[in-house]
């Protein structure tokens, strides 16, 4: 709360209140930064709690209810598995992408820690059919998010909260997946416009942790990423995951580095086979 002490007389931004996110923002017009600080009108603390109480009984306004799902996010759920590539060279990433497409995946998320990632995203979008979804991962600021949108990314992914990224993505018809690990982080990502919340690093808590989050937030679509493997992906699904993100273990790296394309495709295909089974 940026050091602000909230008292019964303290003014509160009505825009933040309407968004159901007053406590994630500062409490005076001069300090509030929600959507760039374009605010008007103030509420007292008593009026805030009255309004939040009203929201809690109004499914149309209460922020935990969001229907329908963003169309890109809805399409992403049908892919079941999101390959998340974080490779040391652009050449290896390009080869891995081709193998994943050949294995039958309907999407690839390319993290921006990969060299020339935005160029690879642009190339992939230009040569793939519209139904194939291209994701940009590890997007940590709005300037980078805009660059990914300009390159043709269909969805933007961050391991953490990036304020404003949900709005930016939706303004351009893209989906947004921001990350969280604790209940507070998951809720913050959801209220900032994340269509699916990326639970990261999922391996630190395992399926039981995701199950606990799902129990608290049954209306929030969760995508565990980081530590998801062929052995535990179904456990994550049973715990409540709507889709899973699988990192570099979806690629047989020794085979990729030696150019054994058939082996890379066969290995990746096991993840889809596990889902279909």
Q: What is the pLDDT of residue 68?
A: 85
Question: What is the average pLDDT score of the chain?
Answer: 82
**DSSP H or E segment with residue 47:** helix 45-56
Catalytic, out of 171, 198, 234, 257: 198
Q: Is the pLDDT of residue 73 over 80?
A: yes
Q: How far apart are CA 228 and CA 70, in angstroms?
A: 25
- Side-chain-side CA neighbours of 84 within 13 Å: the count stands at 28
Bridge-based pairing state of the strands 12-13 and 42-43: antiparallel
Q: What is the pLDDT of residue 64?
A: 63
Q: How far apart are CA 97 and CA 108, in angstroms?
A: 7
* pLDDT tier for residue 127 given thresholds of 50, 70 and 90: very high
Cis peptide before 78 (omega within 30 of 0): no
Q: What is the pLDDT of residue 16?
A: 44
Catalytic, out of 60, 67, 88, 109: 109
Q: Which residues pair with 136 in a beta bridge?
A: 110, 156
The residue with greater pLDDT, 175 or 51, is: 175
The residue with greater pLDDT, 5 or 226, is: 226
Mean per-residue pLDDT, 138-147: 98
Q: Is the pLDDT of residue 9 over 70?
A: no
Rounded to two decimals, the pTM is 0.77
Both tokens of 32, joined, read: 């509030």
Residues in the chain: 277
Annotated active-site residue 198? The verdict is: yes
Annotated active-site residue 109? The verdict is: yes
Q: Is the pLDDT of residue 53 over 50?
A: no
Range with the poorest average pLDDT among 8-17, 115-124, 163-172:
8-17
Phi, psi (5° rounding) for residue 154? -85, -25
Bridge-based pairing state of the strands 175-177 and 107-111: unpaired
**DSSP H or E segment with residue 144:** helix 142-151
Q: How far apart are CA 248 and CA 99, in angstroms?
A: 13
């Amino acid at each position: 709360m940026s050091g602000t002490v909230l008292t019964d007389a303290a003014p509160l931004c009505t825009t933040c209140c309407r968004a159901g996110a007053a406590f994630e923002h500062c409490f005076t017009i001069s300090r509030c930064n929600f959507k760039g600080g374009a605010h008007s009108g103030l509420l007292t603390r008593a009026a805030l709690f009255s309004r939040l109480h009203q929201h809690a009984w109004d499914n149309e306004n209460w922020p935990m209810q969001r229907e329908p799902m963003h169309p890109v996010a809805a399409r992403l759920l049908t892919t079941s598995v999101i390959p998340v590539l974080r490779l040391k060279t652009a050449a290896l990433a390009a080869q891995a992408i081709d193998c994943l497409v050949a294995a039958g995946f309907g999407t690839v998320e390319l993290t921006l820690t990969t060299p020339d990632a935005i160029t690879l995203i642009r190339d992939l979008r230009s040569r793939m059919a519209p139904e194939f979804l291209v994701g940009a991962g590890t997007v940590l600021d709005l300037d980078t998010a805009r660059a990914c949108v300009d390159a043709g990314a269909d969805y933007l992914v961050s391991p953490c909260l990036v304020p404003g990224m949900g709005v930016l993505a939706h303004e351009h018809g893209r989906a947004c997946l921001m990350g969280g690990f604790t209940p507070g982080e998951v809720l913050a990502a959801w209220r900032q416009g994340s269509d699916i919340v990326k639970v990261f690093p999922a391996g630190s808590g395992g399926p039981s942790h995701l199950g606990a989050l799902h129990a608290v937030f049954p209306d929030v679509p969760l995508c565990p990423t980081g530590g998801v493997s062929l052995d535990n992906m179904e456990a994550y699904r049973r715990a409540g995951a709507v889709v899973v993100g699988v990192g570099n273990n979806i690629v047989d790296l020794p085979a990729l580095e030696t150019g054994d394309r058939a082996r890379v495709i066969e290995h990746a295909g096991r993840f889809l086979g596990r889902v279909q089974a």
